Amino acid sequence: MSVLITNIGELVTNQPERDADLDPGGAGLVAGRGAADAAREVAGRPAARDAGPAGPARPAGSAGPAGPAALAGSAGSAGSAGSAGPAAPAGSAGPGPFAAMAGAALVIDEGRVAWTGPASRAPAADQMVDADGRTVLPGFVDSHAHLVFAGERGAEFAARMAGQPYRAGGIRSTVAATRNATDDQLRANLRRLAAEMLAQGITTFECKSGYGLTVTDEARSVSIAAEFTPEVTYLGAHVVPPEFEPNPGGYVDLVCGEMLDACAPHAQWVDVFCEQGAFGRDEAAAVLAAGQAAGLRPRVHANQLTAGPGVQLAVEVGAASADHCSNLTDADVDALACSDTVATLLPGVEFSTRHPYPDGRRLLDAGATVALATDCNPGSCFSSSMPLCIALAVREMHLTTQQAVWAATAGGARALRRADVGHLGTGARADLVMIDAPSHAYFAYRPGVPLIAGVWRAGERVA
């Protein structure tokens, strides 16, 4: 059954090539800008190479406005990247730069976006939804979350707000609770958090293991995660568990050996917390190499607490993303800008740890691709709210409202190497969020207000 959503005040598509099709007399670009102007406000580069080993470096800042050629390249490479999600339909580009139409309509058919354009020209459909001037945007793509765990750490948060520092070691208390939980308890907690995310507009999410840290507990973590999302990440290298404290090398061997063998069948990604107090450069490199040899694709917790080697390592191994990026040198920024590794910013962590926010504008100005993710976890950020991340990224990380919304949708898709989500081009999966507001800017303009008025996933209304 086809559905026409009409009378959309602002339709955020992230598909700039469609703007050329617009009738100047009908719906135009928001604020009446031409496509070139909109492209100049690009929030991240749409041009993409594969997620594999880094290709020839591109000079920092070389990413110009996206043209049709760049988008065509994006479609090819993202489609060939072996995404865990459904392949994008032939001919469909991945997410492009921020783009939006006023006075628009959208048709969903068979779970996909079948048509977008001026409301005055909308085709007939089996069912009609009147958006009454509200904003519609792609469902959020949360490319970083830790949702398989038991217990909570509210007291640790309260102590932090009273002046205690955040330390990687706090993870161990969640590890103890997770090991003591039944599969059904872990499943129920994840189900609750996934529902919480969906109600807030997150239609695609990544989920990491990392609170089990034994072969059995990591394997059941990735297996339970795989019941809820295709984007599962093996994070056996989260911290060294207490029983391996005298022998951290032995733990790295386990992560690269028996534990990896047990987890790889359920996962698409391998991640490592490269940080003082967690894993150093060589250990992290060994974990990523072993994961890649087992068919997993790398991503890295990088430069969260210190300006360590994580970002450089992520770029060297062609990781899909370097996450946190809270302490970056100029060389780190250049490395990200000259690579396809997405810089994933997690502003909820800075909020919840009271650490200084990194400057997202610095990364964008250099030409890096930026994603926003929640990092929902019981320790450093127990929030599943992408609208909060957008508001914080705008207010504290100096992103424009367009850049922040792009980073929470198309940026997340790039970080997961997904071409079928994060945009509303024809053929994209019909994952939509409708908000009770006339523009996307309201996420930051009205922070903390429940604006979500409807959510569709694969064409089905789910909230």
Beta bridge pairs of residue 237: 272
Of 388, 335, 392, the closest CA to residue 359 belongs to 392
Size, binding site for Fe ion by CB under 5 A: 1
Site string for ligand NIG, 361-380 (x = CB under 6 A): --------------x-xxxx
Count interface residues toward ligand NIG (CB under 6 A): 13
The DSSP bridge partners found for residue 321 are: 342
**Tokens in use for 444?**
């930051």
Q: State the minimum distance, in angstroms, from the CB of residue 115 to ligand NIG.
A: 39
Rounded to the nearest whole angstrom, what is the least distance from the CB of residue 352 to ligand NIG in the complex? 9
Q: Find which of ligand NIG, Fe ion, none residue 170 binds, CB within 5 to 8 Å per kind.
A: ligand NIG
Q: How many Å apart are CA 333 and CA 60, to the nearest integer? A: 9
The yes or no reply on residue 171 touching ligand NIG (CB under 6 A) is yes
Q: How many CB atoms lie within 10 A of CB 127?
A: 10
* Interacting span for Fe ion (CB under 5 A) from 22-30, 168-176, 189-197, 370-378: 370-378
Contact (Cβ atoms closer than 8 angstroms) between residue 408 and residue 221: no
* Element holding 366 (H helix, E strand): helix 360-366
Min dist CB 427 to Fe ion, Å, is 32
Distance, CA of 444 to CA of 241 (rounded, Å): 39
Among residues 234 and 273, whose Cβ is nearest to ligand NIG? 273
Taking CB under 6 A as the criterion, the residue among 83, 92, 135, 174 binding ligand NIG is 174
Site map 378..397 versus ligand NIG, x via CB under 6 A: xxx-----------------
Location of structure tokens 């969020």: 433
Nearer to Fe ion by Cβ, of 17 and 375: the residue is 375
Does position 19 interact with Fe ion (CB under 5 A)? The reply is: no
- The single residue listed with the structure tokens 């990591």 is 218
Sign of the CA dihedral with 194 first, then 14, 440, and 100 last: negative
The interface partner of residue 223, options being ligand NIG, Fe ion, none and the CB cut-off 5 to 8 Å by kind, is none
83 makes contact, choosing from Fe ion, ligand NIG, none, with CB < 5 to 8 Å by partner type, with: none
Among 375, 391, 404, 416, binds Fe ion (CB under 5 A): 375
For 88, which DSSP code? P
- HEC sequence for 242-260: HHHCCCHHHHHHHHHCHHH
- Pick the closer one to ligand NIG by CB: 135 or 326: 326
What is the smallest separation between the CB atom of 146 and Fe ion, expressed in angstroms? 6
- Candidates 134, 301, 423, 457; binder of ligand NIG (CB under 6 A) is 301
Applying CB under 6 A, which part among 169-177, 241-249, 261-269, 427-435 lies near ligand NIG? 169-177
Report the b/e string of 150-164 with b at 16+ CB within 10 A: bbebeebbeebeeee
Stretch 266-295 residues interacting with ligand NIG (CB under 6 A): 273
Closer Cβ to ligand NIG, 378 or 427, answer by number: 378
CB of 404 to ligand NIG, least distance (A): 20
Distance CA(74)–CA(96), nearest Å, equals 9
Q: What is the C-alpha end-to-end distance of the chain, expressed in Å?
A: 18
Distances (CA, A) of 110 to 282, 404, 459: 48, 30, 7
Tally of CB atoms within 10 A around 59: 10
* Contact of residue 45 among ligand NIG, Fe ion, none (CB under 5-8 Å per partner type): none
Q: Where are the beta strands (DSSP E) in 62-193?
A: 100-109, 112-118, 127-130, 135-138, 140-142
Q: Does 334 bind Fe ion (CB under 5 A)?
A: no
User: Residue 150 Cβ, how far from ligand NIG at the closest point, in Å?
Assistant: 12
Residue with smallest beta-carbon separation from ligand NIG: 379
Choose, by CB under 6 A, the member of 94, 170, 348, 360 that binds ligand NIG.
170
**Cβ neighbours, 10 Å, residue 110:** 10
- Residues in the site for Fe ion, rule: CB under 5 A? 375
- Residues in the site for ligand NIG, rule: CB under 6 A? 146, 170-171, 174, 273, 301, 304, 349, 375, 377-380
